[in-house]
């Protein structure tokens, strides 16, 4: 069953990882997909994958943290593909740092992309969504729902996305626009490959923020996003949906290997 036939869906960060998997799934289900990314080449490659498989997609080079860039792109999408009806905000950046060493510029850019970028995309897409209905799915993280060491900017940005979602959900509940948020745990995408622990960091403090069952594939999370964006999820409004291997619920923590065959952890 195609859930998005002829609907115009905007997916930010659509050139890579979760955004790319989501753009593909939406196109497979009939959407005309606007693939937005800072990296024009990856956006074009993702759109070409979709069109090569018989779907409809168009790439747009956009910096979501820049209001003029966002405004121009959303208006161009409406002209090229039609009225946007679905918005998925997947563009995001991150990285580890000890807070006493964090660069103010990097703090500003993480907040700028993850939080302000999500707001700006909503701000300039909402007039179209309000003109006949639509839905927004913001992408937060387990890090928006719990403390994660060496990640103050990322946690603050994703915590902001969580409550931005709730604020928009109640503001537009009577206007035919549903706003929800999906909060993934670790996914196998390029994002985390570039993360480096700060010098002197204690790896053990990261155990509690890692799911015992490892990471998910972005395609699994895309399935969750598609459900939330579909009409079947009519009753889901302002929800924050964790898909994180149980991490936020039980607190995570890879089991520590026993330190010796006779340690209490391994005895009996």
Ligand X SMILES: NC(=O)c1ccc[n+]([C@@H]2O[C@H](COP(=O)([O-])OP(=O)(O)OC[C@H]3O[C@@H](n4cnc5c(N)ncnc54)[C@H](O)[C@@H]3O)[C@@H](O)[C@H]2O)c1
Minimum distance, C-beta of residue 13 to ligand X, in the bound complex (Å)? 3
The tally of CA atoms less than 13 A away on the side-chain side of residue 182 is 27
* Residue 242 main-chain phi, psi, to 5 deg: -80, 135
> Which one among 9, 11, 34, 62 touches ligand X, defined by CB under 6 A?
62
Spell out, one character per residue from 140 to 169, where the chain touches ligand X: x when CB under 6 A holds, - when not: -x----------------------------
Judged by CB under 6 A, does residue 63 bind ligand X? yes
Determine the Cα–Cα distance for residues 11 and 226; give it in Å rounded to an integer: 12
Spell out, one character per residue from 72 to 111, where the chain touches ligand X: x when CB under 6 A holds, - when not: ------------------xxxxx-----------------
> In this chain, which stretch among 24-32, 183-191, 200-208, 234-242 interacts with ligand X, using CB under 6 A?
183-191
- Catalytic residue, chosen from 60, 150, 154, 172, is 154
Whether 154 and 110 have beta carbons less than 8 Å apart is answered as yes
3-state secondary structure of 241: strand
> Which one among 29, 37, 44, 102 touches ligand X, defined by CB under 6 A?
37
- DSSP-assigned states of every residue in 53-120: TT-EEEEEE--TT-HHHHHHHHHHHHHHT-SEEEEEE---------GGG--HHHHHHHIIIIIIHHHH
Contact residues for ligand X (CB under 6 A)? 12-13, 15-19, 37-39, 42, 62-65, 90-94, 113, 117, 139, 141, 184, 186-187, 189-192, 218
């Amino acid at each position: 069953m195609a859930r998005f036939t002829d609907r115009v869906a905007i997916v930010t960060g659509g050139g890579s990882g979760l955004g790319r998997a989501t753009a593909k799934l939406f196109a497979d289900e009939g959407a005309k997909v606007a693939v937005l990314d800072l990296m024009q080449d990856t956006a074009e490659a993702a759109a070409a994958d979709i069109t090569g498989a018989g779907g409809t997609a168009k790439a747009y080079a956009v910096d979501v943290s820049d209001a003029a860039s966002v405004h121009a792109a959303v208006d161009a999408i409406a002209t090229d593909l039609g009225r946007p009806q679905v918005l998925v905000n997947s563009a995001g950046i991150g990285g580890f740092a000890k807070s006493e060493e964090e660069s103010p510029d990097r703090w500003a850019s993480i907040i700028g992309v993850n939080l302000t970028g999500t707001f700006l995309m909503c701000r300039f897409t909402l007039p179209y969504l309000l003109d006949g209905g639509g839905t927004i799915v913001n992408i937060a993280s387990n890090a928006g729902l719990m403390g994660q060491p060496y990640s103050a900017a990322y946690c603050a940005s994703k915590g902001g996305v969580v409550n931005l979602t709730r604020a928009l959900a109640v503001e537009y509940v009577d206007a035919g626009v549903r706003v929800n948020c999906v909060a993934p745990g670790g996914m196998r995408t390029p994002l985390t490959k570039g993360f480096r622990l700060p010098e002197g960091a204690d790896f053990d403090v990261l155990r509690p923020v890692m799911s015992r069952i490892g990471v998910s594939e972005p395609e699994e999370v895309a399935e969750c996003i598609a459900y939330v964006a579909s009409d079947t999820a009519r009753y889901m409004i302002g929800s924050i949906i964790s898909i994180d291997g149980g991490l936020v619920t039980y607190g995570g923590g890879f089991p520590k290997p026993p330190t010796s065959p006779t340690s209490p952890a391994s005895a009996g």
